[in-house]
Amino acid sequence: MERAAPSLRLWASEGLEVPKLLLSPFQRAVPIAPGRGQPVVVYPGYLTSDVSSIRLRRSLSKAGYAAYGWQIGRNKGARVDLLDRLGRHLAEVTDRHGEPAALVGWSLGGVFARELAKHRPDLVRLVITLGSPFSGSPRANNAWRIYNLLNDHSVDNPPIAGDLAAKPPVPTIAVWSPIDGIVAPASARGLPHESDRQLELHERHLSLARAPKGISLVGRLLAEELGP
């Protein structure tokens, strides 16, 4: 299975998505199947914040879900206390609604969502990752050099113990794209035993969590997995 970083051509194509990502908070909600108030927490990609998921969360809220961001600012990478902080926030959400939450993580946010589900499986109903580099080499992407430059640790030695590729003990769905210009498709798809389902979505990396096709897929998966 090929795990090399995406080509320079694919990486450059991601630049076309930057304006669309910046404008996405101002775009209308995408119609999706209705929820019944189930809590859903969305985790942003590296160097982005909850602003990047506004359109997705707006769509979830309009459909009847209780949608939340991770509420700790910009995703600057792994931190020693990160899972504890995310766990406290998740506990507040689940206590408020009286049921476990679905976690939706874009890119590095999906890696953290998977790890949080291992850390607090009692609080998690489902994990959906969107282009998240959880499998194979941590350098099978075009972001690791920036990550190493901006952090006090290497992608090879994050301050989060454990096997990132190990499947969380809850239903876990890995969404990947064959035209991802940042994360190697095989790294986001993973091996069959590393998630319960692997689904292809033909979108660039920066569009996975904001484009109508991506939001529609998240809505469909939530409807399928969480029930009426």
Q: Which pTM does this prediction carry? A: 0.97
**How many domains does the chain divide into?**
1
pLDDT for residue 162: 84
Q: Which domain holds residue 154?
A: 8-24+36-226
Does residue 159 lie within any of the structural domains?
yes
Does residue 128 lie within any of the structural domains?
yes
| Residues forming beta bridges with residue 183, ordered by sequence position | 141
pLDDT for residue 4: 87
pLDDT for residue 3: 67
Does residue 111 lie within any of the structural domains?
yes
Give, in order, the Cα–Cα distances in Å from 119 to each of 1, 14, 81. Answer: 29, 33, 12
The pLDDT tens digits along the chain (228 residues) read 456 899 999 999 999 999 999 999 999 999 999 999 999 999 999 999 999 999 999 999 999 999 999 999 999 999 999 999 999 999 999 999 999 999 999 999 999 999 999 999 999 999 999 999 999 999 999 999 999 999 999 999 999 878 999 999 999 999 999 999 999 999 999 999 999 999 999 999 999 999 999 999 999 999 999 987
Does residue 94 lie within any of the structural domains?
yes
pLDDT for residue 2: 52
Does residue 136 lie within any of the structural domains?
yes
Does residue 68 lie within any of the structural domains?
yes
Give the CA-trace dihedral at 93, 33, 220, 32, to 10 degrees: -90
Does residue 30 lie within any of the structural domains?
no
Q: Quick one: three-class SS letters along the chain?
A: CCCCCCCHHHHHHHHHHHHHHHHHHHCCCCCCCCCCCCEEEEECCCCCCHHHHHHHHHHHHHHCCEEECCCCCCCCCCCCCHHHHHHHHHHHHHHHHCCCEEEEEECHHHHHHHHHHHHCHHHEEEEEEECCCCCCCCCCECCHHHHHHHCCCCCCCCCCCCCCCCCCCCCEEEEECCCCCCECHHHHHCCHHHCCEEEECCCCHHHCCCCHHHHHHHHHHHHHHHCC
Does residue 55 lie within any of the structural domains?
yes
Q: Domain holding 162: CATH number? A: 3.40.50.1820
